[in-house]
Amino acid sequence: MTLSNESGADRDLRRLRGLYRALGDETRLRIIGLLAELGPMPVNQLSAHVGLSQPLISWHLRILRLAGIIDTRRQGREVICRLRTAAFEELHEAEARLIGGTSGVGVGHATGSAEVTDVG
């Protein structure tokens, strides 16, 4: 849920946190690499490539989907996963604002922090 008084800096920090948490797992990085190399594929093929059960791969895919890193669509009885490369552009833009000193993190920021929903 986006708060009405949330600043651009707060949105950037929330987005970075969500992306970093989703990317902070070797299995999820492997899934991203496979989708980047091989293109969109069904969950059962991803499961076979990664060597995990379908329920476990689905759990990792859910985290990636909630973070906006992958899209899924149903095709008949299969769920096809596709890498959202735009998520990495968003990541780099938010990182650039943060480390470039243009994020606005220090401008009128209260010492308290809003509660963030955990995706992983």
Domains (ranges, CATH) in the chain?
8-99 (1.10.10.10)
Euclidean distance between the first and the last CA atom of the chain, given in angstroms as a whole number: 17
Asked if pLDDT for residue 65 goes beyond 60, the answer is: yes
pTM value?
0.76
Kindly report the average pLDDT of the chain as a whole number.
84
Q: In the predicted model, what is the mean pLDDT of residues 15-42?
A: 94
25-34 core/surface letters (b: 16 or more CB in 10 A; e: else): eeebebbbeb
Strand, coil or helix: what is 82? Answer: strand
Residue found by looking up tokens 């401008």 in the block:
107
Asked if pLDDT for residue 111 goes beyond 50, the answer is: no
Question: What would the two tokens of residue 17 be?
Answer: 């946190």
Query: For the chain, what percent of residues have pLDDT higher than 70?
Result: 79
State how far Cα 82 lies from the chain centre. 13
pLDDT confidence of residue 93: 87
